[in-house]
Amino acid sequence: MQSSLVKLLALAAMLTTSVWAADAERIARQVRHELVMLPYYSVFDNLTYKIDGAAVTLGGQVTRPTLRSGAERAVKGVEGVADVVNEIEVLPVSSNDDRIRTAVYRAIYYHPVLSRYAIQSVPPIHIIVRNGDVTLEGVVRDPVERDMAALQANGTAGVFSVVNNLQVENRE
């Protein structure tokens, strides 16, 4: 009798874990969808999120304060999200950084190896500029493209440094 109860409790725990994992996956998909659909989200912004149960922590960098608040509002509307912690940084306003953003965009997305990414509805290489320092975020197909994007950004006039956080797509 006790053995049957232990088996039943173990089965219930496995089912609960399975349901929770499926719910967390659904929430993650919806949060990602809400973020990429924000009207002013661009290649010059980087939005990240972390899900812990029913709490979502937002991070990254944006060029507009309205994007920061819009991201929080959109994620709060996702079914199953009970709490949103907004740690998104609003980048300082700078005409020099704006010039660098445009120049790095052209250097990367007009390059023959990387130009195919420019036609995507949400281009995968995000260019974050803060006081002349550039950080590249996102995903590319292979290490050659990863390195090419960094070289193009580093060769742009006015850029002080480049941090290449681009990930290579997992092709299994």
Q: What is the 3-state secondary structure (H, E, C) of 140-170?
A: ECCHHHHHHHHHHHHCCCCCCEEEEEEEECC
CATH 3.30.1340.30 fits 2-90, yes or no: yes
Q: What is the CATH number of domain 95-168?
A: 3.30.1340.30
Domain boundaries, the chain: 2-90, 95-168
Residues 136, 101: contact at Cβ < 8 Å? no
Q: Give the tens place of pLDDT for each residue, 150-161.
A: 999 999 999 999
Taking CA atoms, 70 is separated from 9, 56, 128, in Å, by 43, 15, 19
The reported pLDDT for the residue numbered 23 is: 79
Residues 121, 94: contact at Cβ < 8 Å? no
Structure tokens at 7: 């088996």
Residues 38, 71: contact at Cβ < 8 Å? yes
Q: Give the tens place of pLDDT for each residue, 113-123.
A: 999 999 988 89
Residue reference for tokens 């050659």:
144
Residues 160, 140: contact at Cβ < 8 Å? no
The reported pLDDT for the residue numbered 8 is: 57
The reported pLDDT for the residue numbered 19 is: 46
The reported pLDDT for the residue numbered 170 is: 78
In this prediction the pTM is 0.83
The reported pLDDT for the residue numbered 12 is: 52
Ranges of residues in the chain with a pLDDT under 50 are: 15-20
The reported pLDDT for the residue numbered 122 is: 80
Q: Classify each residue of 161-171 as buried b or exposed e, where b means 16 or more C-beta atoms within 10 Å of its C-beta.
A: ebeeebeeeee
The reported pLDDT for the residue numbered 89 is: 98
Q: Do 2-90 and 95-168 share a fold?
A: yes
**Helix H or strand E segment including 64:** none
